[in-house]
Amino acid sequence: MMQKKELGKTNMQLTPIGFGSWAIGGADWAYGWGAQDDGDAIAAIERAVELGVNWIDTAAVYGLGHSEELVGRAVAGMKQRPYIFTKCSMVWNAERQVSFSLKADSIRRECEASLKRLQVDSIDLYQIHWPNPDTDLEEGCEEMARLQEEGLVQHIGVSNFSVDQLRRIMPIAPVASLQPPYSMLRPAVEKEILPFCLEQGIGVIVYSPMLSGMLSGAMTRERAANFSPDDWRRQNKEFQEPRLSLNLELVELLKRIGAPHGCSAGEVAIAWTLRNLAVTGAIVGGRNAAQVEGIVGAGEFRLSEEELERIGRFLAGMLK
């Protein structure tokens, strides 16, 4: 069984892994991952919940509403519904162009639309997706607090915020959680953000622990070279030389460490993020049931000191 951990001061006990719903949004928007089969997406969510995962993270903007609709369909018939977390602040127009808004009326409209798509009466954790525009942070947070008072959202979280931005909104409403990017290839939050959250009792759910599939163990030079034109990763420098070769070498090390434990490279990468005391859980995407089965073991796997040292030495060498 996966050991659960409380998210901040919310009383929500989360499994170490949550299901991430970015990729299942499909291709038809600026940050799509290429074509996605809806049946596969729903099967992936169902399989994650069957295997014990008890929270799903999505966002209104993923697939411009489509990801939320799929989550709503997947959980509608479940006896034991997982926690559902979603995000606001990225809005789109009739031409499917995405922009940012933290205006009170915009956040309220987004919340009402998300509740409909998710087919729920209340959102367990409602997060500001990006702190843009920075000047409207307070207004956005005040509206989130009103939504919470009305019971439309249970808890308020933020994503991609700095310590300074967290400090600005903490007097307005209790911040349950922060969602930052965190992986072996993106360790920056270890310096200031994670210690601050730990000290303040703010839960942390990290995204991209496998850096968008780079560390999954399934990425190859060929795959990276042949991403479909509508896959946003084509533009990501981690999937291009000179970074690509170094990253694939790191993956080989993760495979060697995982093999004796029956764990994939991806599971080792996820477990590495979970070793940090500040981290409550990691968001892990899956586009089909088989992908979910290949990562869920990270929820119970613990790296030894010696294994952590081997990874640390390799990462230090990569930075030179």
Average pLDDT over residues 216-238: 90
User: What are the domain boundaries of the chain?
Assistant: 12-213+278-300
**Distance, C-alpha 157 to centroid of its chain:** 13
Residues of the chain with pLDDT > 70, as a percent, come to: 100
What average pLDDT does the chain have?
95
Contact indicator for 81, 119 with CB cutoff of 8 Å: no
| Element of type H or E holding 106 | helix 104-118
Nearest CA to 266 among 246, 286, 295, 288?
A: 295
Q: 177-215 pLDDT, tens per residue?
A: 999 999 999 999 999 999 999 999 999 999 999 998 899
How would you class 115 by CB atoms within 10 Å of its CB: exposed for 0-12, middle for 13-18, buried for 19 or more?
Answer: buried
Beta pairing class for 123-128 and 98-100:
unpaired
Average pLDDT over residues 205-230: 91
Confidence of residue 229 (pLDDT cuts 50, 70, 90): confident
- For the ranges 191-195, 232-236, 265-269, the lowest mean pLDDT is seen at 232-236
29: pLDDT strictly greater than 80? no
Radius of gyration over every alpha carbon of the chain, rounded to an integer in angstroms: 19
**pTM score:** 0.94
Contact indicator for 198, 284 with CB cutoff of 8 Å: no
Amino acid, res. 246 = L
Chosen CATH of 12-213+278-300 out of 3.20.20.70, 2.60.40.1180, 3.40.250.10, 3.20.20.100: 3.20.20.100
Q: Any idea what DSSP says for residue 183?
A: B
**How many angstroms separate the CA atoms of 267 and 301, rounded?**
8
25: pLDDT strictly greater than 90? no
Q: Cβ neighbours of residue 86 under 8 Å, at least 6 residues apart?
A: 57, 58, 59, 60, 68, 114, 118, 123, 125, 126, 127
**First CA to last CA across the chain, in angstroms?**
40
Q: Cβ neighbours of residue 11 under 8 Å, at least 6 residues apart?
A: none
Q: Which residues are catalytic?
A: 62
6: pLDDT strictly greater than 90? yes
Confidence of residue 289 (pLDDT cuts 50, 70, 90): very high
CB atoms within 10 A of CB 249: 13
Cα pseudo-dihedral 208, 209, 212, 216, rounded to 10: -160
Nearest CA to 65 among 95, 90, 35?
A: 90
Contact indicator for 315, 250 with CB cutoff of 8 Å: yes
CB atoms within 10 A of CB 243: 15
Confidence of residue 24 (pLDDT cuts 50, 70, 90): confident
User: Which pLDDT does position 320 carry in this prediction?
Assistant: 62
User: Could you tell me which residues are beta bridge partners of residue 57?
Assistant: 20, 85
Average pLDDT over residues 71-85: 95
Q: Cβ neighbours of residue 226 under 8 Å, at least 6 residues apart?
A: none
Q: 83-121 pLDDT, tens per residue?
A: 999 999 999 999 999 999 999 999 999 999 999 999 999
